[in-house]
Amino acid sequence: MVYIKSDRVEEQIKQVITKLRLTILQKALFSRCVECNQILENISKQKVEGKVPPYAFKTVEQFKKCPDCKKIYWVGTHWNNVKKFAVRVGVLSRS
């Protein structure tokens, strides 16, 4: 059991990783659906037309889809913000 000491999410994540001695697999980050934890699958650009915002469809080439809840993911602003957060809490190396 881990008693969370901080009110700040970043500190909480750092504490859990340290206390439980978790090993973070870099290649596993961003590989699962945030809604249902299924492993994301590649999906062709043609199949996401009309299902993602027009700007994303126009500017992004690679998309992933959750086989369970059908949520579609792509590397965009939100993804990049999540990556920056992961670097800040120490679960992703800067690259």
- The three-class DSSP label of residue 25 is coil
**Looking at the DSSP assignment, which residues form a beta bridge with residue 41?**
65
According to the binding rule CB under 5 A, does residue 66 interact with Zn ion? yes
Options 10, 41, 49, 68; binder of Zn ion; rule CB under 5 A: 68
Options 5, 29, 31, 35; binder of Zn ion; rule CB under 5 A: 35
Q: How far is CA 63 from the centre of its chain?
A: 13
According to the binding rule CB under 5 A, does residue 43 interact with Zn ion? no
- Tell me the Cα Rg of the chain: 16
> Parallel, antiparallel, or unpaired for β 72-74 and 41-43?
unpaired
Options 29, 36, 39, 87; binder of Zn ion; rule CB under 5 A: 36
According to the binding rule CB under 5 A, does residue 34 interact with Zn ion? no
Options 2, 4, 69, 87; binder of Zn ion; rule CB under 5 A: 69
> Parallel, antiparallel, or unpaired for β 72-74 and 63-65?
antiparallel
Under the rule (CB under 5 A), what is the footprint of Zn ion?
33, 35-36, 66, 68-69, 71
